[in-house]
């Protein structure tokens, strides 16, 4: 199954239009941006004021947590107050575990989000549950009976429904049958969609969310392919859950959302940041605008199928050349001055010039620099000092390579047109000493670089590929969002062995940190602590933003460790199955700590929880000073 209509052109996926209040989603409409409130839903004034702030920031839909019927009922007061003050932005009730709350919410808002993992099924206990085919059929009938009242009410009131699957809250029934996988997420949604279609209800929007960008991208692609196979064309809402805050949260969101927008998939998005919700809107709008009206110029040779599986992660098989490719993690390359020139010797290594406070190459000719690893060194923590590679690469253009015989490893500068050159392909096929530096000047650089690698794979070329992109954006946020959106899909599909980002305006440390952040967000190379932090909502029982900063302050030196900081247990245990440790709100002023998905310490007073988390990490041998 293929998930995209055209692999070499930007074409928006064709979807049916779904009307949410006064906002149509899907069809030929623009990609909509939305966010979610973090206030107590029963606090009408606070929720209304936050809604107004995000509307003024540009939000086109607003989701509000709806834990129970009391919160659902208060949506009427929130709606009335907003309308009375001249705001008609559609509201979306976010419901988990409570069909009664969904029914009440549908009386007051324009859309209801339900989670197939917990709308009917209880919270997962992560245990195997076996069903015969007949027993499984009975389970589907049970789901149908629970859905029929909501379907009838939403039909009568023209209320849309979002079927929102979260990787972190799949049911034990689904995980036992399909695994904790993208396939499990898709089947969780499809069970509900088939019931909705049976009852002729089609005002649906679908989402597949995960904190793991690979899982999120693969699940959405597989969802599209599955819907295509069953004649469905519902619009899609995109988002990476628990992305975190700051630049890490922005990069992680851009990697996942960008990988899908680049293929024309997505009708509405949310960038989930552990910040004030109005901060999410400008980031989401920048991502949407970056892919607006994208054209592939010059045009590319068509691709009818892919030589790799877009629904699973498998690294492209390549030769190892001086520590690049093979089983090595993707490397980070950078030019010190943002200028590319070919046919020059490459010198590795850095030293710090105390006089002018800059990093320089060891021989003072910083034409080209390779940054393979982090190394801690006092106040220069995280800056590269010494390379692990020998200095005998040559950087060559294609004509020079074809007319020279070199025993030293070659870094060969190529573009898409070069990989269609039969003479070059023949030479590369028999050369295990070449790394390809693949640049692009195409207006749609992502699809061109993917197409070039596809051609290499079809021809059996196993040279490692380093993809190069240049950005002239002066705004730091614009720079990192574009780089993450362009490179994320290539990394998630395991196609590249290194990345090189250049900028004539961004400082070298910004370029370097962005590159390593993109690798981490795509799960291809871990160089720092990763925080799986939810953005918060009305269910959150403590100040998430302050807590995340306190957790980060205590643990940010623990390279490679994944720590979840979650406001409540709706998605916490599931999302933290991918984390090493979890810090989860359990009640007002109370925290529960997890090791993986297992509860270790319950109901710890919040003021003691950071210390207890550190102790837990130490007890399990994962702490370093």
Q: What is the CATH number of the domain that holds 387?
A: 3.20.20
Mark whether 501 and 534 lie in a shared domain.
no
Report the C-alpha gap between 430 and 459 in whole angstroms: 12
Mark whether 245 and 365 lie in a shared domain.
no
Instruction: Provide the token pair at 14.
Output: 């064709």
pLDDT at 377 over 50: no
Parallel/antiparallel/unpaired status of strands 590-595 and 598-605 = antiparallel
Last residue of a domain, one of 521, 548, 570: 521
**Predicted local confidence at residue 160, as pLDDT:** 98
DSSP three-state, residue 371: strand
Mark whether 515 and 536 lie in a shared domain.
no
**Predicted local confidence at residue 597, as pLDDT:** 78
Mark whether 490 and 580 lie in a shared domain.
no
Instruction: Please say whether the beta carbons of 625 and 554 come within 8 A.
Output: no
**Predicted local confidence at residue 227, as pLDDT:** 97
pLDDT-derived band at 355 (thresholds 50, 70, 90) equals: low
pLDDT at 8 over 50: yes
Tell me whether residue 304 is in a domain.
no
Instruction: Please say whether the beta carbons of 233 and 16 come within 8 A.
Output: yes
Between 125-139, 164-178, 182-196, 456-470, the lowest mean confidence (pLDDT) is in 125-139
Tell me whether residue 8 is in a domain.
no
Q: What is the CATH number of the domain that holds 197?
A: 3.20.20.20
Report the C-alpha gap between 497 and 317 in whole angstroms: 10
pLDDT at 69 over 60: yes
Instruction: Please say whether the beta carbons of 117 and 173 come within 8 A.
Output: no
Mark whether 30 and 131 lie in a shared domain.
yes
For the ranges 46-55, 388-397, 563-572, the maximum mean pLDDT occurs at 46-55
Between 88-97, 202-211, 358-367, 545-554, the lowest mean confidence (pLDDT) is in 358-367
pLDDT at 336 over 70: no
Mark whether 364 and 244 lie in a shared domain.
no
Last residue of a domain, one of 521, 547, 570: 521
**Predicted local confidence at residue 403, as pLDDT:** 87
First-residue to last-residue Cα distance in the chain: 49
**Predicted local confidence at residue 555, as pLDDT:** 92
Q: Which of 70, 67, 160, 52 is nearest to 109 (CA)?
A: 160
**Predicted local confidence at residue 378, as pLDDT:** 25
Mark whether 137 and 267 lie in a shared domain.
yes
CA dihedral 411, 417, 420, 422 (to 10 degrees): -70
Q: How many CB atoms lie within 10 A of CB 390?
A: 11
Mark whether 357 and 449 lie in a shared domain.
yes
Tally helices (H) and strands (E) across the chain. 17, 27
pLDDT at 360 over 50: no
Parallel/antiparallel/unpaired status of strands 268-269 and 32-36 = parallel
Instruction: Please say whether the beta carbons of 381 and 417 come within 8 A.
Output: no
Tell me whether residue 303 is in a domain.
no
Residue 446 to residues 146, 416, 453, 495, 606, Cα–Cα distance (Å): 44, 11, 11, 12, 45
193: left (phi over 0), alpha (psi -120 to 50) or beta: alpha
Tell me whether residue 70 is in a domain.
yes
Report the C-alpha gap between 372 and 220 in whole angstroms: 32
Instruction: Provide the token pair at 31.
Output: 């990609």
Of residues 614 and 569, more confidence is placed in 614
CA dihedral 253, 271, 539, 517 (to 10 degrees): 30
DSSP three-state, residue 330: coil
Tell me whether residue 314 is in a domain.
no
Of residues 416 and 124, more confidence is placed in 416
**Predicted local confidence at residue 370, as pLDDT:** 45
Report the C-alpha gap between 582 and 303 in whole angstroms: 43
pLDDT-derived band at 340 (thresholds 50, 70, 90) equals: very low
Tell me whether residue 11 is in a domain.
no
| Residue 2 per-residue DSSP state | -
Instruction: Please say whether the beta carbons of 8 and 301 come within 8 A.
Output: yes
Which domain, by its residues, includes 605? 530-619
Q: How many CB atoms lie within 10 A of CB 381?
A: 10
Contacts of 236 (CB under 8 A, 6+ apart): 13, 15, 205, 206, 207, 208, 220, 223, 224, 265, 266, 267, 268
Instruction: Please say whether the beta carbons of 500 and 339 come within 8 A.
Output: no
Can you give the C-alpha Rg of the chain in angstroms? 25
Mark whether 67 and 214 lie in a shared domain.
yes
Mean pLDDT, rounded, for 264-281: 95
Query: Residue 601 burial (CB < 10 Å; 0-12/13-18/19+)?
Result: middle
Q: How many CB atoms lie within 10 A of CB 515?
A: 26
326: left (phi over 0), alpha (psi -120 to 50) or beta: left
pLDDT at 348 over 70: no
Mean pLDDT, rounded, for 400-424: 87
Mark whether 539 and 588 lie in a shared domain.
yes
Tell me whether residue 354 is in a domain.
yes
Q: Which of 210, 244, 232 is nearest to 563 (CA)?
A: 244
- Percent of the chain clearing pLDDT 90 (strictly above): 62
pLDDT per residue over 288-329, tens digit each?
Answer: 999 998 999 999 999 989 999 999 999 999 999 888 899 988
**Predicted local confidence at residue 214, as pLDDT:** 96
The overall average pLDDT reported for the chain is 86
pLDDT at 565 over 90: no
Report the C-alpha gap between 42 and 168 in whole angstroms: 26
Mark whether 585 and 442 lie in a shared domain.
no
Instruction: Provide the token pair at 450.
Output: 């993917």
Query: Residue 312 burial (CB < 10 Å; 0-12/13-18/19+)?
Result: middle
Instruction: Provide the token pair at 105.
Output: 């919410």
Last residue of a domain, one of 268, 290, 312: 290
Rounded to the nearest 10 degrees, the angle between the axes of helix 476-492 and helix 213-229 is 60
Residue 516 to residues 373, 512, 589, Cα–Cα distance (Å): 9, 6, 36
Domain tally, the chain: 3
Report the C-alpha gap between 420 and 301 in whole angstroms: 10
Tell me whether residue 242 is in a domain.
yes
Q: What is the CATH number of the domain that holds 611?
A: 3.30.413.10
Report the C-alpha gap between 405 and 394 in whole angstroms: 12
pLDDT-derived band at 260 (thresholds 50, 70, 90) equals: very high
Mark whether 514 and 585 lie in a shared domain.
no
Instruction: Please say whether the beta carbons of 33 and 50 come within 8 A.
Output: no
Q: Which of 144, 270, 261 is nearest to 207 (CA)?
A: 270
């Amino acid at each position: 199954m293929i998930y995209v209509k055209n692999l070499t052109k930007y074409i928006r996926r064709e979807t049916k239009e779904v009307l949410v209040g006064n906002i149509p989603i899907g069809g030929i409409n623009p990609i909509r941006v939305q966010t979610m409130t973090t206030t107590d839903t029963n606090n009408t004034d606070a929720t209304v004021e936050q809604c107004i702030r995000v509307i003024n920031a540009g939000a086109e839909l607003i989701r509000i947590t709806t834990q129970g019927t009391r919160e659902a009922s208060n949506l009427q007061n929130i709606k009335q107050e907003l309308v009375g003050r001249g705001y008609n932005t559609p509201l979306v009730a976010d419901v988990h575990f409570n069909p009664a709350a969904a029914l009440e919410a549908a009386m007051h808002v324009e859309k209801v989000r339900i989670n197939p993992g917990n709308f009917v099924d209880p919270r997962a206990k992560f245990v195997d549950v076996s069903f015969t085919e007949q027993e499984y059929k009975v389970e589907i009938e049970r789901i149908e009976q629970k859905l029929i009242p909501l379907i009838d009410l939403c039909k009568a009131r023209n209320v849309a429904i979002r079927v929102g699957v979260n990787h972190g809250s799949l049911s034990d029934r689904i995980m036992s049958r399909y695994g904790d996988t993208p396939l499990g997420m898709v089947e969780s949604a499809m069970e509900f969609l088939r019931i909705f279609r049976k009852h002729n209800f089609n005002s649906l929007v679908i989402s597949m969310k995960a904190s793991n960008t690979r899982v999120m991208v693969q699940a959405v692609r597989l969802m599209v392919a599955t819907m295509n196979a069953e004649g469905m064309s519902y619009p899609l809402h995109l988002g990476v859950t628990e992305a975190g805050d700051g630049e890490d949260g922005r990069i992680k969101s851009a990697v996942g959302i960008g990988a899908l927008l680049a293929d024309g998939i997505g009708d509405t998005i949310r960038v989930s940041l552990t910040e004030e919700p109005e901060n999410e809107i400008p980031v989401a709008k920048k991502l949407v605008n970056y892919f607006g009206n994208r054209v592939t110029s010059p045009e590319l040779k068509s691709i009818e199928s892919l030589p790799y599986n877009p629904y699973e992660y498998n690294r492209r098989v390549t030769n190892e050349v001086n520590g690049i490719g093979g089983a090595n993690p993707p490397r980070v390359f950078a030019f010190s001055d943002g200028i590319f020139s070919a046919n020059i010797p490459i010198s590795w290594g850095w030293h710090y010039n105390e006089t002018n406070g800059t990093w320089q190459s060891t021989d003072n000719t910083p034409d080209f620099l390779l940054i393979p690893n982090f190394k801690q060194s006092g106040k220069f923590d995280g800056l590269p000092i010494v390379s692990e590679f020998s200095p005998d690469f040559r950087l060559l253009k294609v004509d020079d390579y074809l007319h020279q015989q070199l025993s030293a490893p070659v870094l060969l500068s190529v573009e898409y047109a070069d990989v269609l050159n039969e003479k070059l392909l023949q030479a590369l096929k028999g050369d295990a000493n070449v790394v390809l530096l693949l640049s692009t000047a195409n207006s749609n650089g992502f699809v061109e670089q993917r197409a070039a690698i596809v051609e290499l794979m079809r021809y059996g070329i196993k040279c490692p590929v380093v993809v190069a992109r240049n950005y002239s954006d002066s705004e730091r946020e614009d720079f990192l969002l574009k780089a993450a959106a362009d490179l994320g899909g290539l990394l998630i599909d395991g196609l590249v062995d290194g990345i090189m980002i250049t900028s004539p305006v961004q400082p070298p440390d910004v370029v370097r940190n962005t590159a390593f952040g993109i690798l981490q967000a795509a799960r291809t190379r871990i160089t720092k602590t990763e925080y799986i932090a939810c953005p918060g909502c009305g269910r959150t029982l403590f100040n998430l933003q302050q807590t995340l900063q306190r957790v980060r302050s205590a643990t940010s030196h623990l390279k490679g460790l994944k720590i979840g900081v979650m406001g409540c247990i709706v998605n916490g245990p599931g999302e933290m199955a991918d984390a090493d440790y979890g810090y989860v709100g359990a009640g007002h002023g109370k925290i529960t700590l997890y090791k993986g998905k297992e509860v270790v310490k319950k109901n710890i007073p919040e003021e003691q929880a950071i210390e207890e988390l550190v102790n837990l990490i130490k007890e399990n041998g994962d702490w370093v000073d």
